[in-house]
Amino acid sequence: MAFLHHPPSRVVGLDIAKHTITLVDSRAPAPRVIDNEPRAIRALLKTCDETCLVLCEPTGGHERTVLAEACRAGIPCHRADTLKLKAFIRSFGTLGKTDAIDAARIADYGRERWRTLPLWTPPTRQAQTLVDLVRRRHDLVALRVAERNRAKAPGAAPLAASFEAMLTVIGEQIAAIDTAIDEAIASCPDLVRRSAICTAMPGIGQKTAAALLAHMPELGQLSRRQAAALAGLAPHPNDSGLLRGHRRIKGGRPEVRTVLFMPALSAARGCGEFASFYQRLVQNGKNRLAAIAAVMRKIIVVLNARLQTT
What does DSSP say about strands 28-35 and 20-25: parallel, antiparallel, or unpaired?
A: antiparallel
This prediction has a pTM of 0.86
Count of domains for the chain: 3
Q: How many whole angstroms separate alpha carbon 33 and alpha carbon 98?
A: 12
Structure confidence at residue 111 (pLDDT): 95
Whether 235 and 172 map to the same domain: the answer is no
Residues 43 and 111 in one domain: yes
- pLDDT for 310: 63
Please list, residue by residue across 62-91, b when 16 or more beta carbons sit within 10 angstroms of its beta carbon and e when fewer do: bbebbbebbbebebbbbbbeeeebeebbee
How large is the average pLDDT for residues 64-72?
Answer: 94
Do 112 and 130 lie in a common domain?
no
Do 71 and 131 fall into the same domain?
A: no
Residue 246 contacts residue 235 (beta carbons within 8 Å):
no
Tally Cβ neighbours within 10 Å of residue 254.
12
Label residue 242 by pLDDT band (50, 70, 90).
confident
Cα 275 to Cα 282: distance, rounded to the nearest angstrom: 11
Answer yes or no: is pLDDT of 7 > 90: yes
Range(s) of the domain holding residue 158: 125-187
Residues 20 and 101 in one domain: yes
* Identity of the amino acid at 193: R
Q: Check pLDDT > 80 for residue 290.
A: yes
Domain assignment present for residue 155? The answer is yes
Per-residue pLDDT for 166 more than 80? yes
